[in-house]
A and B are shown apart, each in its own frame.
Chain A
């Protein structure tokens, strides 16, 4: 099966500064893809090139077999949600959602029905007559989502849509976005710098670093088999193990170390607890192993007292869980 979204040798330079350095990826129809990386890694520039707001210096973008590279944004039939909501302040919620439909020439009757359907989908039925300024940020962003998907775009682009919202709404809205995306089966490209966000909703993640694609894969692959040092350190927590015992560039995830032996563990380390962080479901211990700090995540057990600062503990880990960090 041919790829639905295909980006080939994409390069973007602003003057002498090359921000996207030859990126390739291809995804199937219906996938939820995250472009993940720190600010300045080129992820937003890639999204803006897919949308047509930036012209690639070289390379091509194809959607459903059609070359979009040289089309104007208004010819691409895509939907997009922006970080700052970008609802039209002069239009009601209903007119905002209907904007793309009206431009496309859909008759008023059908438009009304579609707006109603969209408002039901985003959980804001009866909000047609409201103006954007009368709504909270989370509501506005849901309306922006409805506006983006109302014309049934081939591709939904999300440019850090959750960054302007507070923590609780961020989590509930991301779950809602994922549910709607799966419901409609719409191919989605999501840009974020938040690795937890990317891991929790994506089918596949593209990790970007300084204009290059570092790794592409499912959240499970990215987390458990990071292909570069950058990916390993950017995604999730990581402990660098003492070089004397394990050799150079060896690391392990905090949850793969335990205080008690497990069937698969074959290596032990001894250290002193220097800090205990209680995070609710997880208790994070910082252990000093001959000068190397090592973080351990253990589950909270409600009947047991957590370990105390200054306790001497033995750490158990399995050699197969140790990651070797490449370049």
Chain B
């Protein structure tokens, strides 16, 4: 019993160290900008950089649009597949996994060829067009997470019977999705939204190749030019990502309970 506990603890500590040591080392290094003593100078320098604020704001805005478009695409799709075409589900599973399999680089080259300024649909010909294209690319990247979050949310409620109950009460499809389905899977949608947000904030490849001033390319740029600021930035983006994850947990507690209680 005692030795079992010892091994369990050893594995746990080794595992923990694997994650924490690099993080602690990065944090420690980020504090060393001033010679001979610890300081937050690197952080001050990061926050003082106007390009930090502008690239971060840009990525947050793109992230919000990505979330909205993602919800508008995924929620009705999952709803109708579950309700009317359950035989399509394996196909949906496969399609939504593709963004994890196909490198972002391939995706963005495809985009540039298909929507380049000399193509029939020249999205990249204007700044707004490129932003739209970037958002669409992010919706695709976030699809595996958004799809699974929404699908799990709908698994927990009996959408078939709830739909019928709303229909017989006179509601149309739009009212059913908006007033019954969406509110009941709101927590699942939010968790998908925060994952999407975490992905968008750190994404480099697509933003860089579409030449948009996003946070990811900014991180990389700083990393090649400075010594201490990248470490500070790594810690900052780590906190942002974990903040997003933490929000999923916190909001999960407010999930409406669906009842299977009988007397």
Contacts and interface: CB of A to CB of B under 8 A. Distances in A.
B20 to A, nearest CB: 40
Interface in B144-189: 157-158, 161-162, 164-172, 175, 180, 183-184, 186
Interface in A105-146: 131-133, 135-138, 140, 144
B84 interface: no
Interface residues of A, number: 40
A136 B164 contact: no
Interface stretch (A37-45, A79-87, A233-241, A292-300): A79-87
Nearest to A168: B263
Given A53-B164, A90-B184, A166-B262, A84 B175 contact: no
A309 B160 CA distance: 54
A164 interface: yes
Nearest to B164: A53
Nearest to B258: A89
A169 B263 contact: yes
B180 A86 contact: no
A51 B259 contact: no
Contacts of B164: 51, 53, 73, 80, 82, 86
Contacts of B167: 52-53, 72-74
B28 to A, nearest CB: 47
A300 B170 CA distance: 52
A90 B180 contact: yes
Contacts of A166: 262-263
Contacts of A80: 164-165, 168
A286 interface: no
Interface string B184-217: 1010000000000000000000000000000000
A99 interface: yes
A86 B161 contact: yes
A89 B184 contact: yes
Contacts of A103: 169-171, 175
A237 B117 CA distance: 83
Q: Which of B180, B186, B256, B263 has most chain A Cβ within 10 Å?
A: B263
A86 B162 contact: yes
B257 interface: yes
A140 B258 CA distance: 12
Nearest to B176: A74
Given A88-B162, A90-B184, A103-B175, A140 B259 contact: yes
A151 interface: yes
Contacts of A86: 158, 161-162, 164-165
Contact of A99 (B158, B169, B258, B259): B169
The 5 closest A-B pairs by CB, nearest first: A100-B169, A133-B259, A137-B262, A90-B183, A73-B167
26 contacts: A52-B168, A53-B164, A53-B167, A75-B170, A77-B170, A79-B169, A80-B165, A86-B161, A88-B162, A88-B165, A88-B166, A88-B184, A89-B157, A89-B257, A90-B184, A90-B186, A99-B166, A103-B170, A133-B256, A133-B258, A135-B261, A136-B261, A136-B263, A137-B261, A147-B165, A147-B169
